[in-house]
Structure 1
Amino acid sequence: MTDITTGTVRDNPARSRFELGDGDALAVTHYRIADGAMVFTHTEVPSRLRGRGIASRLIAGALAAARERGLRVVPLCSFVAAYVSRHPEAADLVS
């Protein structure tokens, strides 16, 4: 099993989500693509993984993917919105 604190954020387009971890230790952020934007709708981190910065690593990876694809970001998920507000380097992604 990969160490989740150093693992790679993966896009799972079949499930419209980004993932970090393996098996039952899987943090996810759900999205949909609409009108040139990646719309983030919900982020989930298993309770036993919380408080370790995993959700922030997950969102950083997801935002990097949106940037690479030339997509704007719509943070409907409150965690994604809070992350963007704390990271000014991501502000240019938000529509």
Structure 2
Amino acid sequence: MSDVTPTVIRNDDKGRYEIHLDDTVAGYTEFHVDDHGRLVFPHTEIDPAFAGRGLGGTLVAQAMADVAARGETVVPVCSFVVKYLRGTDVPGLDVAWRPTADDAGSDRVDAADK
């Protein structure tokens, strides 16, 4: 299976982007639409049978590029997606960061999160 090129598809019915190797779903990153029409990404998972191949990075990179191309906004919650977006510029991607404890005034709530 190492010669198979992974493909990433958006599966709106399941609310996730999936990475496929041939007919096998090797992993996914979930999303749901919040009250403001933004895509919240809470979880990413790669099947342990496919670990160590860089599929998580490929999956998130292609998912974020697709979201940017669609003109949608991402709310990263999943630690893998957060780490990816903090270290990678995705041209045209609108990111709505949630406040963290490290932010000044960490007890404030973003109006968009109410």
Tell me the CA shift for residue 64 of structure 1: 1.2
Runs of at least 5 residues in structure 2 that lack an aligned partner in the other structure: 97-114
- Structure 1, residues 31-83: CA drift from partner, whole Å, max 9, x if none? 01221311101001011212211001100111111111111111110100011
TM-score (norm 1): 0.84
Residue 67 of structure 1 aligns to a residue whose secondary structure is helix
| Matched residue type, 1:94 | V
Contact 2:15/2:32 (<8 A) preserved: yes
Number of equivalenced pairs:
92
Deviating beyond 2 angstroms after TM superposition, the runs of 4 or more aligned structure 1 residues are: 88-93
Give the match for residue 15 of structure 1. Answer: 14
Give the match for residue 42 of structure 1. Answer: 43
Q: How large is the Cα RMSD of the aligned pairs?
A: 2.1
Larger RCO (alpha carbons 8 Å, 6+ apart): 1
Give the match for residue 111 of structure 2. Answer: none
Alpha carbons of structure 1 residues 56 and 44: separation in structure 2 relative to 1, 3 Å:
same
Give the match for residue 33 of structure 1. Answer: 33
The separation in 2 between residues aligned to 1:91 and 1:52, in whole angstroms, is 27
| Matched residue type, 2:27 | A
The separation in 2 between residues aligned to 1:78 and 1:39, in whole angstroms, is 12
